[in-house]
Each structure stands twice: as structure tokens, then as C-alpha cells.
Amino acid sequence: MSTGDRAADHAVMRRVNRAVVLDVIRSTESSSRTAIAEATGLAKPTVSLIVDELMTAGLVAEIGRGATGTVGGRPPVLLAFNARSSFLAAVHVGVRRTTVVVADALGTPLVRRTMKSPAGRATAALDRIAAAIIEVVAEVGAGTDVLAAVGVCLPGVVADDGRLLRAPMLGWRDVPVAQLLGKRLGVPVVADNAARASLLAEIRLGAASGERDVLLVYAGTGVGAAAVVNGQLVRGAGGIAGEFGHVRVRDSGHRCSCGKTGCLETVASADAVASAAAARWKRKAHRPAEEMSVSDVAVAANAGDAIAVEVLGDAARDLGTAAAWIVNMLDPACVVIAGGLAEAGPAFVRPFEQAVTSGARPVRIVVSAFGEDAEVRGAVLLAREHATADIRIVTQ
């Protein structure tokens, strides 16, 4: 082995050790150098050197002394991760509303802004989103120089490299979202779709915490799915697995945004449910004809409105029947329902459960722990997990 090779190996090992030590400190409220050495198996002098580097970089601070051990001696100096050493930004671009969140380095949300989704060409819309991110970061008294990463959640088909391949409801096609926002902000940007971002939130912090085999069914403005099998996200050969909303479930019906008819999205999305309920109420003439939302339908169903209950039940059964196909293929430990329809309550959840279990084996079905926040919580986690090279070295 040449001198250059040995130097390269030594540099990689230093980065790995630094990441391991930082991860121990980040995952505990406080820790000492001795405790870190015991947890990592690294020599105490190595740990002390790394801690000194982390303190110089502002990532770690000494916060006092701990209790003296049973054998006496000097009390240990306690260390804690500086959560304000950098910040993360997260964006959920919805069809109608866009939410921007700034979080600390641990992913704790600090500031939120919700605005009307920018209309028009994708490049101009991304300019406005970038400007909003800069403004929200400024609200925590910081600039983009301390912005470690940005996570973006999008309503469409998103490839592994952060390109939005198509989002018919936005009118965007083949837009390199991660690349364009990254250039505008000068920071790493990672992008994914609503279903996969929501699944990340549910597995890390929510309704599917601790599970390694999970199917998430997303029914919002669009319909999609995402799955984790043996702890690994199923992305597919082209990175676009989960296009569940364009499974054909009807021989006829409304034309889908993809151009076909009979897609699941045309009967089981939030917009489809709201439109179907509004049309039936209008025919029955016992509700005004103004535009309705899925929240209006849910409220009516929970109050016992027969039309609302029927419309939600029809959508839930179509969605559950299609979900049963995936349950039979992937054998998940649980199924998470996310998106706007997940908030509709028993009138939607119960017929969904019945349809899944009648078409597949019994499986635990849970509702998203985060409701309408699932997408942006997932975007925060996307940013956190891609924030530094140190984290990627440890997790790859």
C-alpha cells in the first residue's frame, strides 16, 4: 500500500470516527468523554481529540459536570450537541398550499410559514419558494450560510436525483427541483414525493415507529403509496415505485390527470371525494352548490349525513381493495393511512380496513400520527438525513 493510500484510509477513518462520536452526543441529552469512549469502543485520547475538534467547530459544547462515580475521582465534564449550530429547512409543495418550516439541527421545528402555492412556470415558482425559505430562515436570526440542507416534498413522480418527472396538478414536467433550488440557495437539497416523505416521518417518529415492513397508502389531493421492506425503502428500477394512484379500478369514469380514465386517483383522492359529495348534495338540493372540501365531507359524515358517509365509504373501499393487492405481495407488518382522507375518521377508516382485510390477510392498520403535517415532517427528516457528509458515511 502506498503512502497516499494509507493517508486516504486514515482520513476516511477519522471522518467515520468523528461521525460516530457526534452521533453518540447528538442522541443523548448529555454525555462525557469517558462514556463516549465506552459507547464507541474508541480510545479515550482519540475521543478527546475528536471532541476538541467538534467544540472548535461549534457542534458540541461543555455544559457542566456530572455526578462523581462510586469510586470517587473528579466529576466528568458533560457534553451536549449544539442544536443551533446549523439549521434545516423543509418545504411541502402542495397543489394549493405550500408550507415552509425551519428546524434546528436535531430536526425540531422552529418557524413555519404557509402560503398559496406559486403558480405558473416551475422555474419562477421555485424562485418564489427559495425566497420564502430565505425569509423564514431569517426569522430565526440566521442566514443560508448556516443552513445545512433543505428537504422538499412534492406532489408528483420524483426520481432519485430530485427531479420532478411529472406533476400534472401543478403543470410541471421534468423539473430538476433539487438542482435548481440548490443553486439558488447554495446548500444541499433533497426532494421526494408526498407518500415517501410521509412514510419516513411515520417510521422514524410516528405511527409505524420501530417497524421494518410497512406500507403507507397516501390519499390526499393525489393518491400514492410507499413501502419499506426489511428496513429498506422500495424505490424501483427508476426510483419511481409507488405510483399507486394510477392503478385502473373502473372501466369508465372521470379522466385522470395522467390522461387515462378509471384511475384510483379519480375515485379515492380528496378532490374526487369532495366533488362526488358536492354533486350528490346538489342533486338532493339540501346543500348549497359552492365548492366543497374533503374536510366538509368528513364533518358531514361524522354528523351522520348519509351522502357523506356513502361517498367516503365508496372511496375507502376502492382504496382498500387496491391496497390489499400490495399487502398480498409485500406482507407488511402494518399499513399506515396518510393524506387528507386519513383525517376523515371512522366513516373512511372502517370501510378501508374492511376492504383490506377482505382482500388480504389481517394486518394492523393505523392512521398517520401527524395528519396534515406528515409531509413536511418527512421533509425535515429528509433534510436532516442528508445534512452532512458525516451522517452519510455512517448510514450508507
69 and 101 housed in the same domain: no
Residues 362 and 229 in one domain: yes
Q: In sequence order, which residues have a C-beta less than 8 Å from that of residue 31 and are 6 or more positions away? A: 24, 25, 39, 78, 79, 80
* Mean predicted lDDT score pLDDT of the chain: 88
Side-chain-side CA neighbours of residue 208 (13 Å)? 32
Average pLDDT over residues 142-156: 92
Question: How many structural domains comprise the chain?
Answer: 3
Query: What mean pLDDT is predicted for residues 123-132?
Result: 95
Report the range of poorest mean pLDDT among 208-212, 230-234, 279-283, 323-327.
Answer: 279-283
Same domain, 318 and 389: no
Residues in CB range of 141: below 8 A, 6 or more apart: none
Same domain, 22 and 42: yes
Q: State yes or no: pLDDT of 291 exceeds 80.
A: no
Q: Which of 135, 365, 169, 183 is nearest to 272 (CA)?
A: 169
What residue numbers bound the domain in which 342 lies? 207-368
**Residue 322 scores a pLDDT above 90:** yes
Name which residue leads in pLDDT, 248 or 216: 216
- Cβ distance 78 to 34 under 8 Å? no
On the question of pLDDT at 378 being above 60, the answer is: yes
pLDDT at 98 over 60: yes
| 190 and 212, same domain (yes or no) | no
Q: What confidence score (pLDDT) does residue 396 get? A: 33
Q: Is 382 exposed, middle or buried (0-12, 13-18, 19+ CB in 10 A)?
A: buried
Mean pLDDT (whole number) for 195-211: 95
63 band by pLDDT with thresholds 50, 70 and 90? confident
pLDDT at 366 over 80: yes
* Whether residue 390 has pLDDT greater than 50: no
User: Do 300 and 193 belong together in one domain?
Assistant: no
Task: Tell me, yes or no, whether 92 and 77 share the same domain.
Answer: no
Residue 3 pLDDT: 59
pLDDT of 28 higher than 50 = yes
Is the domain of 112 the same as that of 154? yes
70: confidence class by pLDDT, cuts 50, 70, 90? low
Q: Is 120 exposed, middle or buried (0-12, 13-18, 19+ CB in 10 A)?
A: exposed
Question: Rounded to whole angstroms, how far apart are CA atoms 167 and 162?
Answer: 13
Bridging pattern class, strands 214-219 and 334-338: parallel
Look up residue 145 and give its three cell numbers: 450560510
Give the tens place of pLDDT for each residue, 306-317.
Answer: 999 999 999 999
Could you report the per-residue pLDDT of 248-284, keeping only the tens digit for each?
A: 888 777 888 777 788 899 999 999 999 999 888 887 7
For residues 257 and 358, membership in a common domain is answered with yes
The secondary element (H helix, E strand) that includes residue 311 is helix 306-330
Q: What b-and-e string marks burial along 238-277, b requiring 16 or more CB atoms within 10 Å of the CB?
A: ebbbbbbbbbebeeeeeebbeeeebbbbbbbbbbbbbbbb
Average pLDDT over residues 54-72: 79
Confidence category of residue 6, pLDDT binned at 50, 70, 90 = low
Q: What is the share, in percent, of the chain residues with pLDDT greater than 90?
A: 59
What sign does the CA torsion over 200, 205, 210, 214 have? negative
**CATH number of domain containing 316:** 3.30.420.40
Residue 285: band (very low, low, confident or very high) from pLDDT cuts 50, 70, 90? low
pLDDT at 246: 85
CATH number at residue 76: 1.10.10.10
Give yes or no: residues 233 and 359 share one domain.
Answer: yes
pLDDT at 73: 64
Spatial contact of 378 and 95, defined as CB atoms under 8 Å apart: no
d(CA 101, CA 240): 26
8, 30, 81, 134, 142 from 139: Cα distances, Å: 41, 28, 22, 9, 7
Instruction: Using DSSP, state whether 110 is helix, strand or coil.
Output: strand
Same domain, 169 and 232: no
Is residue 267 within 8 A of residue 249, CB to CB? The reply is: yes
User: pLDDT tens digits for 77-87?
Assistant: 899 989 888 99
In terms of Cα–Cα distance, which of 189, 195, 119 is closest to 152?
Answer: 189
Q: How confident is the model at residue 388 (pLDDT cuts 50, 70, 90)?
A: low
Distance of CA 51 to the CA centre of its chain: 32
